[in-house]
């Protein structure tokens, strides 16, 4: 179902053919904001000031993997036109913004095009939150409408060898996003949430989608609540749960990042 220009209505689900024509045509600044790209540099596509790599930054830095933030929401900011010399792409979350409902991410078409370029070149893509939906769409899947929600729960591993054997059997997750991905053919569900929905998926051998942000900080959620008028239900209760699980999330992230680096092969070459 397409968009009707006269009414401005958006479709409740999305697949690549819906926009094929367009595809063809915090509180503090993240520390690597001024990093200049090189062949070993990760491109981090940021959608809001509040959402950044969070606790993942230290894990990349400790492995000497540089990263460069692309910030199209800022004055003069833009989405890179192609993969270029970047070693990989990380698509971050976007708070209450959606891909098929609500206020849409303004740079979606450019992001689909960029993600497809990374996939065509066989380079790794990591999608987080709405970034996981963008990855799924670019890889031939889609997305469906879901309300903005903030959930803190557990991820349950589906495959023993997920993330090269480094995904914990169970670990806490925090999800803050609108809409949800429809996985493309060939994608593997690596973990599910408490309701049995995909929490982590893999595709193309070196790409990963995380519905929850593995490196989330409670301050990121607080900043999102201040930056946007729309907030999810039970925000205060969710923040309390997140703060209670923060240490366990950080502990699980150490093992998860070992698996992420191995799966994406970012240390090779």
Residue 216 belongs to a domain:
yes
Q: Order across the sheet with 67-70: list the strands.
A: 67-70, 42-45, 88-91, 125-128, 207-210, 198-203, 188-192, 149-157, 170-177
Give me the chain's average pLDDT, please: 88
Per the structure, the complete domain to which residue 154 belongs is given by: 13-264
Put simply, whether the predicted model's pTM sits higher than 0.85 gets the answer yes
Arithmetic mean of pLDDT, 172-177: 98
Residue 234 belongs to a domain:
yes
Residue 197 belongs to a domain:
yes
Arithmetic mean of pLDDT, 112-116: 98
pLDDT at 269: 61
Residue 6 belongs to a domain:
no
Over 70: is that where the pLDDT of 29 sits? no
Residue 32 belongs to a domain:
yes
What total number of domains does the chain contain? Answer: 1
Looking at residue 160, which CATH number applies to its domain?
A: 3.40.50.880
Arithmetic mean of pLDDT, 41-45: 97
Distance CA 93, CA 46 (A): 7
Arithmetic mean of pLDDT, 9-30: 40
pLDDT at 69: 98
pLDDT band at 62 (very low <50, low <70, confident <90, very high): very high
Residue 191 belongs to a domain:
yes
Residue 52 belongs to a domain:
yes
Over 80: is that where the pLDDT of 13 sits? no
Distance CA 154, CA 158 (A): 13
Residue 64 belongs to a domain:
yes
């Amino acid at each position: 179902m397409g968009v009707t220009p006269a009414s401005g209505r958006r479709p409740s689900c999305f697949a690549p053919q819906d926009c094929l024509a367009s595809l063809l045509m915090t509180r503090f600044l993240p520390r690597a904001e001024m990093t200049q790209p090189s062949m070993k540099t990760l491109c981090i596509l940021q959608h809001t000031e509040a959402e950044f790599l969070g606790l993942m930054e230290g894990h990349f830095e400790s492995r000497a993997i540089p990263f460069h933030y692309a910030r199209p929401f800022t004055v003069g900011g833009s989405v890179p036109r192609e993969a270029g010399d970047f070693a990989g792409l990380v698509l971050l979350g976007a708070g209450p913004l959606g891909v098929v409902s609500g206020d849409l991410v303004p740079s979606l078409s450019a992001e689909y095009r960029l993600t497809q370029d990374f996939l065509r070149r066989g380079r790794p893509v990591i999608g987080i939150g709405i970034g996981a939906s963008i990855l799924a769409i670019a890889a031939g899947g889609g997305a469906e409408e879901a309300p903005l929600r903030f959930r803190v729960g557990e991820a349950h591993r589906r495959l023993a060898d997920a993330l090269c054997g480094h995904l914990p059997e169970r670990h806490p997750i925090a999800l803050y996003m609108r809409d949800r991905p429809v996985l493309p053919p060939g994608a593997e569900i690596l973990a599910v949430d408490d309701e049995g929905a995909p929490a982590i998926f893999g595709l193309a051998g070196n790409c990963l989608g995380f519905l929850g942000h593995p490196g989330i900080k409670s301050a990121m959620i607080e900043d999102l609540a201040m930056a946007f008028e729309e907030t999810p239900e039970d925000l205060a209760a969710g923040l309390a749960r997140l703060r209670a699980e923060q240490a366990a999330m950080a502990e699980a992230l150490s093992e998860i990042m070992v698996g992420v680096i191995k799966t994406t092969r970012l240390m090779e070459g």
